[in-house]
């Protein structure tokens, strides 16, 4: 069972389920922190799989509130919104992480995520080629070597 790093298991889950709506765009719904976290965990697991969960777990003993906010806010409130498909969000995310630089651990998570939500190996490689025009060759190459690691782990590398 996955639990919020700030609280541990909720002993009484019935407290927090009064109206049952889950829409991120609802203005009216009262939600507990725990409910927002649980919604985020569902999205996180669907998008990032185990690699996202490992990051949250690793934050638990140093900055549990950061782990909570990544899940409850980043995934529960933003990722879950219906206005942009999960596949589209990963395209934006690959662009951002390549441009920021120094985000290789996050690129690892999100190249996996991109594959999880339907982008192909070739589309990801093409997107990273495209970053060369805007971010320059070094950042495009750095991101591509993360893709090489992920593709290798998932047996997606070309014979060369």
Q: Where in 8-37 is the site for a copy of itself (CB under 8 A)?
A: 10, 15-18, 25-35, 37
**111 belongs to the binding site for a copy of itself (CB under 8 A):** no
Min dist. Cβ of residue 19 to a copy of itself (A): 9
Containing H/E element for 69? helix 64-69
Q: How far apart are CA 78 and CA 67, in angstroms?
A: 15
Q: Decide: is 47 part of the binding site for a copy of itself (CB under 8 A).
A: no
Q: How far apart are CA 61 and CA 72, in angstroms?
A: 18
DSSP H/E element including 147 = helix 137-153
- In the complex, the smallest distance separating the C-beta of residue 88 from a copy of itself, rounded to whole angstroms, is 6
Instruction: Provide, rounded to whole angstroms, the least separation between the CB of residue 154 and a copy of itself.
Output: 12
**x/- string (CB under 8 A) for a copy of itself, residues 73-102?**
xx--xxx-x-xx---xx-xxxxxxxxxxxx
Out of 9, 57, 153, 154, the residue judged to bind a copy of itself by CB under 8 A: 57
Q: Does the protein bind a copy of itself through residue 139 (CB under 8 A)? A: yes
* Number of chain positions touching a copy of itself (CB under 8 A): 98
* CB within 8 Å of 155: residues ≥ 6 apart: none
In the complex, what is the shortest distance from the CB of residue 112 to a copy of itself, in angstroms, rounded to a whole number? 15
Cα distances (Å, whole numbers) of residue 39 to 23, 45, 74, 122, 129: 10, 10, 11, 31, 34
């Amino acid at each position: 069972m996955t639990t919020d790093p700030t609280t541990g298991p909720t002993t009484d889950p019935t407290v927090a389920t009064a109206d049952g709506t889950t829409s991120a765009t609802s203005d009216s719904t009262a939600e507990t922190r725990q409910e927002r976290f649980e919604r985020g965990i569902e999205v996180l697991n669907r998008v990032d799989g185990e690699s996202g969960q490992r990051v949250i777990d690793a934050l638990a003993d140093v900055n549990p509130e950061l782990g909570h906010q990544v899940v409850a806010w980043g995934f529960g409130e933003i990722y879950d919104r219906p206005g942009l498909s999960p596949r589209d969000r990963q395209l934006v995310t690959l662009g951002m992480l390549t441009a920021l630089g120094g985000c290789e651990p996050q690129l690892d998570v999100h190249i996996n995520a991109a594959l999880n939500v339907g982008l192909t190996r070739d589309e990801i490689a093409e997107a990273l080629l495209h970053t060369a025009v805007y971010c320059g060759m070094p950042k495009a190459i750095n991101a591509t070597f993360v893709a090489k690691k992920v593709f290798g782990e998932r047996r997606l590398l070309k014979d060369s």
